[in-house]
Amino acid sequence: MSAVGYTHAEPDWVHGHPHEPNPAPPSDDVTITLTLPGGQAQRLTVETLQSLPFTTVPDCTIVSTGHGASGPFTFGGVTLQALLSAFLPVDANWQFVDVVSGDGFGARLQREEVLDDAGGRPVLLAYMLDGAALSREAGLVRLIAPIETDDALKQVKWVAQIVVK
């Protein structure tokens, strides 16, 4: 599978992406492609995420290239762990998850990061910000890693792909 900037080669998002501010959505496509180990792919929508258990994580900071840090915010959505639990077989063997934006920026999360709720601050696929739905310009669906506060390397705006390996 090759979609929106993702190939099977090992990505290098830190050095392979210019980290320029991205004020406008990269495309009109708002679906998310979830690719499971073995290559089986599914298209997800915000409504798909909304059908899964809802979680809020307060006191989150958004660290955005070119804009510095902002917040604190309360994000709401589905934990990445809950999403994977809903779509992966119980005995699935996986080591990491790549979450990739529509503009090609991405983050790799190790299995331990996904499964650890970090003291009630789990990795979240957020579609709400301070009780309101995220607009398309604000990301529509954003990967939020609440424990990250200064690099923005695991905060992905406009999530377009989730690849489980």
* Residue 27: partners with Cβ closer than 8 Å, 6 or more residues away: 4, 102, 160
Predicted local distance difference test score (pLDDT) of residue 1:
35
Predicted local distance difference test score (pLDDT) of residue 24:
76
Tell me, yes or no, whether 50 lies in a domain.
yes
CATH code of 100's domain:
3.90.420.10
Tell me, yes or no, whether 8 lies in a domain.
no
**Total of domains in the chain:** 1
Using the Cα atoms of residue 111, residue 117, residue 123 and residue 127 in order, give the sign of their dihedral: positive
Predicted model pTM: 0.84
Distance between CA atoms of 1 and 21, rounded to whole angstroms? 28
Q: What is the mean pLDDT of each run of 10 residues along the chain (165 residues)?
A: 46 53 76 94 96 94 70 94 94 93 89 85 95 91 79 80 96
Tell me, yes or no, whether 123 lies in a domain.
yes
Tell me, yes or no, whether 88 lies in a domain.
yes
Predicted local distance difference test score (pLDDT) of residue 19:
52
Tell me, yes or no, whether 23 lies in a domain.
no
Predicted local distance difference test score (pLDDT) of residue 155:
83
Range(s) of the domain holding residue 130: 29-164
Tell me, yes or no, whether 21 lies in a domain.
no
Q: Name the DSSP letter for residue 6.
A: B
